Chain A
């Protein structure tokens, strides 16, 4: 299937520090979604990006879709302990808007 690389695998930050996770694809994507999964929980949809260069914000979270639609990032400003979890990107295939391949996830730990 389509390869979506996500880095870093783990990130440990002090509460108040910023955090960024990146997703990269070798092929052009139709869209990209971001999810958060708390330990022991199921993935929860955060956002979908569709347009080249798109930037969306949700409070302290900023999502970007690259100009070439091959990469995306999620940035959290001033992390809080409630941000702990694993963040996944899910890439939609070009030509198939509805089929998604997930990245391996970035596990975020926030120390109070």
Chain B
């Protein structure tokens, strides 16, 4: 597609439920990032995929968080047993392997009630 696409755009879930957030990067972009942004805060690095290399998962806050990426396309961020502190915007971004411009999606707004 023309840009980074994320779904759902908004999700309200009950505490304890699992959620899946999807990111469809720009075609041909080998690098894909997930960030979390709490209301009024900065962006918190979660995970980074680069081509077929092992992902850098160092930013995942707990073992309730996991992410996968199929080849160089779609990525899914899964949050298990959601907690209220997981409420935030989850932003996906992609870039080419050697380019310098990073493109962000519109984000998935997650609210845990």
Residue A66 interfacial (CB < 8 Å): no
Mark out the residues of chain A between 41 and 93 whose CB falls within 8 Å of any chain B CB in the assembled complex.
Answer: 41-45, 48, 88, 90
Binds A, one of B15-23, B66-74, B76-84, B95-103: B95-103
Among candidates A41, A43, A88, A102, residue contacting B45 with C-beta atoms closer than 8 Å: A102
Tell me the interface secondary structure of chain A in the complex: strand
Residue A101 interfacial (CB < 8 Å): yes
Residue A100 interfacial (CB < 8 Å): yes
Residue B106 interfacial (CB < 8 Å): yes
When each residue 21-47 of chain A gets 1 if its CB lies under 8 Å from chain B and 0 otherwise, what string results? 000000000000100000001111100
Chain B residues positioned under 8 Å from A88 (CB to CB): 42-43
On whether the beta carbons of A42 and B105 are closer than 8 Å, the reply is yes
* Distance from B51 Cβ to chain A, minimum over Cβ atoms (Å): 11
When each residue 23-53 of chain B gets 1 if its CB lies under 8 Å from chain A and 0 otherwise, what string results? 0000000010101000001111100101000
* Known contacts A98-B48, A98-B50; is-contact A43 B43 (Cβ 8 Å): yes
* Distance from A98 Cβ to chain B, minimum over Cβ atoms (Å): 6
* Known contacts A1-B59, A48-B100; is-contact A101 B45 (Cβ 8 Å): yes
Chain B residues positioned under 8 Å from A103 (CB to CB): 42
- Return 6 A-B CB contacts under 8 Å, by A number: A6-B42, A33-B102, A42-B91, A42-B104, A43-B93, A98-B95
Known interface pairs A45-B104, A98-B95; 8 further A-B residue pairs with C-beta atoms within 8 A, sorted by A's residue number: A33-B100, A42-B104, A42-B107, A43-B91, A44-B104, A45-B101, A88-B42, A104-B41
